[in-house]
Structure 1
Amino acid sequence: MQHIDLSYQWQPQSREAARNRQSPLRNPLMDLLQAVRHAGSIAGAAKFLNLSYRHVWGELKRWEQAMGQPLILWEKGQAARLSGFADKLLWAERQAQARLAPQISALQAELEKTFAVAFDPDHQVLPIFASHDDALVGLRETAAAQSLHLDLRFCGSVDAIRALNEGRCHVAGFHAPWQPGAQSLVARTYKPLLKPGLHKLMGFATREQGLMVAPGNPRRLQGVRDLFQSGVRFVNRSVGTGTRLLLDQSLEEAGLAAANLTGYDHEENSHAAVAACIASGQADAGLGIASAAHVQGLDFVALSQEHYWLVCLASALETAPVQQLRRLLHSAAWQAHLQSMPGYTPSAWTGQVQSLRSMLPWWTFKTQRAGDRVNPQFTSP
């Protein structure tokens, strides 16, 4: 069984090329074999393909070695002829092209339509790595209608900020409780990754975090301590996610041991996956957002409100994609949409740019004495 790889390439477009267009799915070996059959010689095939004789001969030999079967019958004094195996290859290729022509043409049209965006100066693309969030999915759809295409990759909050710092995206999304203490687990985790002056925050939304539970809340769960009741099965989020961080901070503050929580090691990679796990009866509770519980018909026990932030490098604030994102976030239409989602409310800072120090007061600056040069240095409180 031979493995098939698909690829595509760009060709200059002209009216003549459009009229003479061949199948959008082609293979170099099939082109070589067809040319040999048409020309009756290696030299003729090379001329037909506008290639050198040496290149065509070498490629045919390479393919024969790779496939372990002859492709050309090399008889002295005779015109080059395809082997029986080569004839079967061309037959199979024609059969596949005939069967798949509609799908191939549709795929080609979709590729051309998508790549047209890259050549259109009116369209912008913004790579974003972000903690999983239902409102961001809605934002992606809304932005696309306004020619702003969010290349959105969901991952944990910690991984999202690391991706920003490593240059793999332009904007990162993470969430945190409102002004958590400087010694909290949240602060200790995020603080090394964020640098005042280098990073800027953009308000996105305020959302509720809480327990997703079965309809009617049969276990009568009201808080983190209730998760330690006998028989309660918990489903957790992955390490590095903001929700996992929130749980671990809650356990630390309450003096509860994660090892005693049944299901602490049962991990899912999104709010939706946690909700689906509870809805299917595999677990009794999980920490997540209200919108995910709503989709699965679960009950939701609100525990806290948190801010979902978008963060970018200060140097990126004035770029066209980030400027367009800020205008969209600040628009009345987007904020009305956000208000309609379960568990979400627009933040007072939605679409506005804020400093790390004002929103996450984990840094204190040395007091400048009279006559000192302006040289801000931040230290841990």
Structure 2
Amino acid sequence: MHKVELSYLLTPQRGKNTLIRNPLMDLLHAVREQGSISKAAKALDLSYRHVWGALKGWEQTLGRTLIVWDKGQRARLTEFGEKLLWAERQAQARLAPQIEALRGDIERAFSTAFDDNAHVLTLYASHDAALSALRDQASPRGLHLDIRFMGSVDAIAALNAGRCMMAGFHTLDQPESRSVTAQTYRNLLKPGLHKLIGFAHRTQGLIVAKNNPLRITGIADLARPGVRYVNRAEGTGTRVLLDELLGRAGVAASRIHGYQSQEPSHTAVAQAIASGAADAGLGIETAAREKGLDFVPLAEERYHLVCLKSELPTPQVQALIKELQSREWQTTLEELPGYSGKLAHSGKVLSLRTTLPWWTYRKEKPGKNPL
């Protein structure tokens, strides 16, 4: 059985015939009505060669004969050709309401592209509940966030490669210049090239089973016998944070059962714990509460948005900044478990060197003439 593929056209206005069009059916209908290939071509405003070649091509594709090609006689459809036209009429009549609804949905979706007051911003970012909330809040106001969740490192790399306009990543509230975080992000971000925009302040901690039956209270407890950990993928901000906390606690990753396991998001980590597949995993409080789990806070984080300095004046970025500075967004942040609107600096353009003090530059000695 042959399969069906649908396509559509963008036009200034709808034509009189609003059915889903198929070029083969148009050719067959014209041949049947006109009685010859040449007259069918003229009716369709196409060349004889084009129509003849198209019909032959369709016959080869379908493996069936469509036209009776007797010279000197009126061209007519084969029984298979007639059945194709009949089947198409039946489908069009039966599916007309659904076709009209689908057309309306597509037109409404494309109306955004023709609305000068609407903006679409591509954002690759580390998984975050607040970003999902921002997307829902901003859309009715004309700012549509095209978000793709991935690891923080991959998100910034995508920004630097030009695959997105903005990236989202997170760091400890007070990152140290020699920390794992600094080693991870220092070479990806450059003062003068990138600009940070404040977004959210959140708490990361250990997601554990309801009522915390294993009495897990800190990072060192992950090395206890019998505790099964579920990790995030290498390159994610949460994986970077875990390695940072393990280093501070003096706990080797090799001592943690499940360190090599990976889940793609905070929600997936919480689900693994809720299902009993693991006992603990590092994540955000929102994910824990959604699954009815307990949460052991460990670290305060800032979630940053970053774009190229050259993109800062664009309408998309300015619309995002305006949304982040709104009172409605501050309220939304405060209502999310584990987030703080007051500490977020949402919508503020921040100094890269001040916020992430990892870069040092050698100063010239007095009296020394530079080459």
TM-score for the superposition, normalised by structure 2: 0.94
Alignment of 1:130-145 (within 5 A): 130-145=125-140
* Residue 362 of structure 2 is aligned to residue 366 of structure 1: yes
Deviates more, 1:300-309 or 1:231-240: 231-240
Match of 1:310, SS state, is: strand
Mapped contact 1:197–1:355 kept (Cα < 8 A) = no
| Partner residue of 2:299 out of 304, 310, 315 | 304
Measure the CA separation in 1 of the matches of 2:116 and 2:370. 42
Tell me the amino acid that sits aligned with residue 82 of structure 1.
L
User: Which residue does 1:54 correspond to in 2?
Assistant: 49
Instruction: Provide Cα deviations, 1:74-122, integer angstroms capped at 9, x if missing partner.
Output: 1111221112222222233233323332222211111111111111111
Deviations 1:161-181 (A, max 9, x none): 111111111111000112322
Kindly, what percent of the aligned residue pairs are identical? 58
**Greater mean deviation of Cα atoms: 142-151 or 335-344:** 142-151
- Selected match of 1:270 from 265, 268, 281: 265
SS in structure 2 opposite 1:209? strand
> 1:11 matched to which residue of 2?
11
Letter in 2 for 1:10: L
Q: Distance in 2 between matches of 1:206 and 1:373?
A: 45
Change (3 A) 1:234 1:101: farther
Task: Report the CA distance shift for 1:219/1:82 in structure 2 as closer, same or farther (over 3 A).
Answer: same
Q: How does 1:100-249 map to 2 (within 5 A)?
A: 100-249=95-244
Q: Secondary structure at the match of 2:24?
A: helix
Counterpart CA distance in 1 for 2:104 and 2:136 is 21
2:106 equivalent to 1:85: no
Q: Secondary structure of the equivalent of 1:306? A: strand
SS of 2:167's equivalent?
A: strand
User: What is the one-letter code of the residue matched to 2:5?
Assistant: D
Let me know the Cα RMSD of the aligned residues: 1.9
Shift, 1:368, TM fit: 4.5
Distance 1:371 1:50, change over 3 A: farther
1:95 & 1:175 partners in 2: Cα distance?
Answer: 56
1:378 maps to none
Rounded Cα–Cα distance in structure 2 between residues aligned with 1:81 and 1:21 = 25
Change in Cα spacing, 1:368 to 1:348, as seen in structure 2 (3 Å) is farther
Residue 353 of structure 1 aligns with an amino acid whose one-letter code is V
Distance 1:193 1:144 in 2: 30
Aligned counterparts of 2:369 and 2:120: Cα–Cα separation in 1:
41
Whole-Å separation in 1 of the counterparts to 2:101 and 2:231 = 41
The structure-2 alpha-carbon separation of the partners of 1:362 and 1:373, relative to structure 1 and needing over 3 Å to count, comes to farther
2:18 alignment partner in structure 1:
22
In structure 1, stretches of 5+ residues that fail to align are 376-381
Residue type of the alignment partner of 2:155: A
Count, aligned residues: 370
Q: Is the CA contact (8 Å cut-off) linking 1:214 and 1:285 kept in structure 2? A: yes
| Alignment partners' CA distance in 1, 2:369 and 2:325 | 38
Deviation at 1:348, TM superposition (A): 4.7
Q: Aligned partners of 2:270 and 2:368: how far apart in 1?
A: 56
Kindly provide the CA deviation profile for residues 187-225 of structure 1, in whole angstroms up to 9, marking residues without a partner as x. Answer: 111111101110010010110101111110111111222
Question: Do the aligned residues in 1 keep the contact of 2:112 with 2:118 (CA within 8 Å)?
Answer: yes
Tell me by how many angstroms 1:39 deviates.
1.8
Q: 3-state DSSP class of the match of 1:365?
A: coil
* Shift, 1:372, TM fit: 7.8
Distance 1:374 1:349 in 2: 40
Q: Is the 8 A contact 1:128 1:172 kept in 2?
A: yes
The letter for the 2-side match of 1:367 is: K
State the distance in 2 between where 1:199 and 1:95 align: 58
Structure 1 position 251 matched with structure 2 position 229: no
Secondary structure (helix, strand or coil) at the match of 2:7 reads: coil
Alignment TM-score, normalising by the size of structure 1: 0.92
**Unmatched tracts of structure 2, length 5 or more:** none
Q: Displacement of 1:72 after TM fit?
A: 1.1
Instruction: Specify the alignment match of 1:287 in structure 2.
Output: 282
